[in-house]
Amino acid sequence: MILVIGGAGYIGSHMVKELIKSKEVVILDNLSTGHRWAIDERAVFVEGDLGSPEVLKSIFSEYSIDAVMHFAASSLVGESVTNPMKYYMNNVSSTLTLLNTMLAFNINKFIFSSTAATYGIPDVDIITEETVTNPINPYGQSKLMVEHILSDLGNATDLKYVVLRYFNAAGAIESGEIGEEHDPETHLIPIILQHLLGKRKQISIFGSDYDTEDGTCIRDYIHVTDLANAHILALEALLAGTKDTATYNLCNGLGYSVKEVVEMCEKVAGKKANVVMSERRAGDPARLVASSDKIHRELGWKTEYSLEKIISTAWKWHQTRLKIEQ
Ligand code: UFG
């Protein structure tokens, strides 16, 4: 069985949908940001905190867990600056408790959700796994700290792990049954689509004076199901023993500016957005575009979703969500 921590959250719930096709799954989630409606009913669900040794011990005693995937983290960059303790407690301290308890139960296979925020403001056009990590906020720091902890534990114990550094996760499962919903929502694509559905009066573009072609920030958007499939390849490599430790970027390798994303959303929805130019948002790097050559080469991962397909699946989900709410 595979333990998916944070399996009621946005990326974790999409992970479960793919994983459950081939594996038995236990989900641990405290529902602080995840949703009950996102939990796959074929999985065993345990409501609780990953920072609780008692909860972890009861799961590890009751189920035969072959590997752990860890998606449960606080992930708002701005909040991490004003409340760093929350990030170090939720993202570092809880993960230490998890790893400590896993190793005590001889569970030694681990897949960790890391982030592009570990790179900070990169000095290269295309980020590779060799690019220097230099986070500029506590969120990125907290993820990098866990990466360092994993490296040390990997040297000292029989822990086998894969670190996956996500770029901008977006989109929803093709069926439209689950999708992205944060409160507050801070991510660009859901904000634009909510606006195009009439839930917001306007959208703001944060900064139009960046050193990019159209002056707005450039990001590398990656579909959640592509992300999930990368995790499955990483899991299979750990279970088969063909990988002991690895770190991979998960991205499309293509950069789109905020303006281009707005235009693509307008094209998919067939509506014009009411756009306001605003000040820069603190802590936004101008450009974050990466290469996923390493995971392609080593595990055969390929992405299937273009930006247009990513936004189409998100649009389908947001329309479904609106109907449920009405
Ligand atoms: N943006 C706007 N208007 C909005 C929302 C966002 O212009 O209303 C811009 C942002 O300034 C940024 C781009 O759209 O330039 C993308 O913003 P998101 O908030 O969607 O995503 P980020 O790139 O800020 O964040 C993502 C992940 C984080 C991770 C970060 C790494 O969501 O978890 O990449 O830098 F930490």
Q: How many Å lie between the centroid of ligand 1 and the Cα of residue 186? A: 7
The whole-number average pLDDT for the span 242-269 is: 98
State residue 258 phi and psi, 5-degree precision: -55, -40
Q: How confident is the model at residue 234 (pLDDT cuts 50, 70, 90)?
A: very high
Q: Closest Cα to atom 26, ligand 1: which residue?
A: 168
Instruction: Report DSSP letters for 312-325, one per residue.
Output: HHHHHHHHHHHHHH
Confidence at 238, pLDDT banded by 50, 70, 90: very high
pLDDT over 80 (residue 326): no
For β-strands 67-70 and 44-47, DSSP reports them as: unpaired
pLDDT of residue 132: 98
Quote the strand ranges of the chain, DSSP E. Answer: 2-5, 25-29, 44-47, 67-70, 109-115, 160-166, 168-170, 203-206, 218-219, 221-223, 245-250, 256-257, 275-278, 287-288
* DSSP for residue 220: -
The closest of 314, 61, 278, 69 to 187, measured between CA atoms, is 314
- pLDDT tens digits for 275-303? 999 999 988 999 999 999 999 999 999 99
Residue 118 has what DSSP assignment?
Answer: G
Closest CA to 103 of 146, 53, 174: 53
Residues in CB range of 126: below 8 A, 6 or more apart? 253, 289, 290, 291
Rounded CA-CA distance 73/50 in Å is 10
123-130 mean pLDDT: 97
ipTM of the complex, rounded to two decimals: 0.96
Does the CB atom of residue 208 touch ligand 1 within 6 A? no
Helix and strand counts by DSSP (H, E) for the chain: 11, 14
Q: Residue 271: how many CB atoms within 10 A of its CB?
A: 12
The answer to whether the bond into 184 is cis (omega within 30° of 0) is: yes
Distance 188 CA to ligand 1 centre (A): 6
Q: Are the beta carbons of 11 and 224 closer than 8 angstroms?
A: yes
Residue 139 among the catalytic residues? yes
In tens, the pLDDT along 147-174 reads 999 999 999 999 999 999 999 999 999 9
Could you tell me which of 279, 142, 169 has the C-alpha nearest to residue 217?
Answer: 279
Q: Tens digits of per-residue pLDDT, 53-99? A: 999 999 999 999 999 999 999 999 999 999 999 999 999 999 999 99
Query: What letter represents residue 2's amino acid?
Result: I
Distance 39 CA to ligand 1 centre (A): 26
Is residue 322 scored above 90 in pLDDT?
no
Predicted local distance difference test score (pLDDT) of residue 325: 79
For range 224-241, the mean pLDDT: 98
Residue 206 CA, closest ligand 1 atom number: 7
Concatenated DSSP letters for 140-176?
HHHHHHHHHHHHHHHHHSS-EEEEEEE-EEE---TT-
CA quadruple 260, 262, 264, 270: dihedral, nearest 10? -150
Q: What separation in Å is there between the alpha carbon of 160 and the centre of ligand 1?
A: 31
Give the mean pLDDT of 230-247.
98
Confidence at residue 59, expressed as pLDDT on a 0 to 100 scale: 98
Q: Is 86 in the pocket of ligand 1 (CB under 6 A)?
A: no
- Provide φ and ψ at 213, rounded to 5°: -55, -50
Rounded to 5°, angle at Cα 257 from 251 and 263: 110
Report yes or no: 210 and 277 within 8 Å, Cβ to Cβ.
no
Given 139, 210, 248, 305, the catalytic residue = 139
